[in-house]
């Protein structure tokens, strides 16, 4: 059972999400809060698998709440940010704070449910129609030239697959390798890039131009 915590200052949004998730097998909502501070308190007490995190909330916003949760020792709850905005600096901040993915609030019910399951499984939610636009906007901002990173050819192929939003099983199928080999390559990529997780690796790929090569 995937246990979900809802963080949003709009009661109607929380009610809608609760009804949506309650209707899905294997998902249950264990708590909710209307501010970032209350979210952190509730998540610390209930230890859900996934937090659906609004960005703009009173008091502590979703960015600060995400940063707090992401700093906990593993295994920590996974954070899926929901935002009204396509390209908003605060969403960039949320990802940098440790969010495991994000969706627009106008996503379909199927997309939201799928994203919750994906994040709970350990993968990042990098939906092409939303994430690529955000990351390309990030790539357009001035950044220092990156240091050379000695990725192997197979690691480069795995990183490109990550930028396309593929899950670990999809990468394994696409490259005809085992799931464990995919996980090993991703761990090596994160170490070589000096980044925390796969979301940060994809941001690195767009910011440095790696994602646009070939």
Q: Where residue 203 sits, what CATH number does that domain have?
A: 1.10.10.10
**Closest alpha carbon to 205 in 186, 182, 184:** 186
Segments forming the whole domain that contains residue 197: 145-212
**What was the pLDDT predicted at 214?**
54
81 falls within a domain? yes
**Total domains in the fold of the chain:** 2
56 and 121 assigned to the same domain: yes
**What was the pLDDT predicted at 134?**
60
CA distance 50 to 120: 6
Q: Is 126 helix (H, G, I), strand (E, B) or coil?
A: coil
* Token couple for 108: 């379909």
14 and 109 assigned to the same domain: yes
149 falls within a domain? yes
Tens digit of pLDDT for each residue in 86-128?
555 666 677 778 888 888 888 889 989 998 998 898 877 765 5
89 falls within a domain? yes
CATH number of domain containing 79: 3.40.50.2300
82 falls within a domain? yes
pLDDT of 79 strictly over 90: yes
With a CB cutoff of 8 Å and minimum separation 6, the contacts of 13 are: 54, 105
Range with lowest mean pLDDT among 13-27, 145-159, 188-202: 145-159
Compare 106 and 42 and report the one with higher pLDDT: 42
CA distance 4 to 18: 9
61 and 110 assigned to the same domain: yes
96 and 189 assigned to the same domain: no
159 falls within a domain? yes
41 and 93 assigned to the same domain: yes
Mean pLDDT score, 51-78: 90
202 and 151 assigned to the same domain: yes
């Amino acid at each position: 059972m995937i246990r979900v915590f809802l963080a949003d200052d709009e009661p109607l949004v929380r009610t809608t999400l609760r009804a949506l998730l309650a209707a899905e097998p294997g998902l249950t909502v264990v708590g909710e809060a209307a501010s970032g501070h209350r979210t952190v308190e509730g998540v610390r007490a209930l230890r859900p698998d996934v937090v659906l995190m609004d960005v703009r909330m009173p008091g502590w916003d979703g960015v600060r709440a995400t940063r707090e949760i992401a700093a906990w020792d593993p295994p920590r709850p996974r954070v899926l940010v929901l935002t009204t905005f396509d390209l908003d600096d605060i969403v960039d901040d949320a990802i940098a704070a440790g969010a495991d993915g994000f969706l627009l609030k106008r996503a379909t019910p199927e997309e939201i449910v799928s994203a919750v399951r994906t994040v709970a499984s350990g993968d990042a939610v990098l939906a092409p129609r939303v994430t690529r636009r955000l990351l390309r906007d990030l790539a357009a901002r001035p950044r220092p030239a990156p240091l050379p990173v000695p990725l192997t050819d197979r690691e480069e192929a795995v990183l490109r697959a990550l930028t396309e939003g593929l899950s670990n099983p999809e990468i394994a199928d696409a490259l005809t390798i085992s799931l464990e080999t995919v996980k090993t390559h991703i761990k090596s990529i994160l170490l070589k890039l000096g980044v925390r997780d796969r979301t940060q690796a994809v941001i690195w790929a767009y910011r440095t131009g790696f994602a646009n090569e070939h």
